[in-house]
Amino acid sequence: MVTYQADGWIALGDPTRRAIFERLAEHPRAVGELARELPVSRPAVSQHLKVLKEAGLVLDRPDGTRRIYQLDPAGLEALRAQLDRFWTKALANYKAVAEQQAEEVS
Amino acid sequence: MTTQVQDTSVRIEVVVDVPIERAFAVFTEDFDSIKPREHNMLAVEIAETVFERREGGRIYDRGVDGSECQWARVLVYEPPNRVVFSWDISPQWQIETDREKTSEVEVRFISETPERTRVELEHRNLDRHGDGWESERDGVGGEGGWPLYVQRFAQLLKD
């Protein structure tokens, strides 16, 4: 399982995949929609989605003739990505609050 | 700020230009202004997040209508060096009542100089949330599952 878990983070190390992942976090999207929003071709988007799916980060489901992609809320990697975001933001808030108070005191 | 990730944990550290006692006090006393506010499991807006500063204390959000949502338990409280609390929230952003399926957050404060402190945060045992994921997976598209999760996460990313 270690390999599988590492894959999730390697998958997110690529800037385009990161961009796709973050857009899917806003709401589920089809391949065409992602390709319109990003400066990459449709086949490239499909390839990136395949990597994200294999890493356990996203799920897909059919919707008529299209496939809709979304984050996998049951995936450990998606949970970690989410908590990483949460705590990074919390500690940035923390640093701002702590140092602002220190300035006010001095 | 640097981010490190291990198999089943998330580790983040930050250095703050305040003494260790102050660093610890700000984290625990001002947790309300630190916690990203968008994360809300109440039906109404959060008025305040309360961090009870003692072992066995609770961490909970209080809504503007007085309702409460307890989402963590303080497991270790050792000022000014360390605090550990549980994370009783499922991957679907719902309160996890089964303690076997909760993870924990340890925050360590290390004095680098009398005026500077390194703060290491580790959110670990994330795999414990995993029991029963397969069955939860079936409900991914349900009203309480996936859409809520997406909405919350999207809000986080926007900030």
**DSSP output for A20-31:** HHHHHHHS-EEH
Rg (CA), chain B: 16
Does the interface predicted TM-score (ipTM) exceed 0.95? no
A86 pLDDT band (50/70/90 cuts)? confident
If one counts every other C-beta atom within 10 angstroms of the C-beta of residue A70, the result is 21
A76 or B115, higher pLDDT = B115
Interchain pair A94, B157: CB under 8 A: no
Q: What is the pLDDT of residue A41?
A: 95
- Per-residue confidence band for B90, with pLDDT thresholds at 50, 70 and 90: confident
Task: Give the number of A-B residue pairs with CB atoms closer than 8 Å.
Answer: 120
Q: How many alpha carbons lie under 13 Å from residue B10 in its C-beta half-sphere?
A: 22
pLDDT band at residue A106 under the 50/70/90 scheme: low
Angstrom distances, CA of residue A81 to CA of A37, B23, B56, B63? 22, 26, 29, 27
For residue range B29-70, list pLDDT tens digits in order: 999 999 987 667 888 889 999 999 999 999 999 999 999 999
**How far is B76 from B83, CA to CA, in rounded Å?**
5
Task: Considering only the beta carbons, identify the residue of A61, A73, A86 that sits closest to B36.
Answer: A86
- Residue A81: which of A23, A10, A15, A12 has the closest Cα? A12
- With CB atoms and an 8 Å threshold, state whether B3 touches A74: no
- Whole-model pTM: value is 0.68
The terminus-to-terminus CA distance of chain A in angstroms comes to 51
In B, residues 124-153, which contact A (CB 8 Å cutoff)? 126-127, 129-130, 133-134, 136-137, 140-141, 145-146, 149-150, 153
Q: Which has the higher per-residue pLDDT, B148 or A78?
A: A78
Tally of CB atoms within 10 A around B158: 10
Q: Which of B8-17, B79-88, B106-115 has the lowest mean pLDDT?
A: B8-17
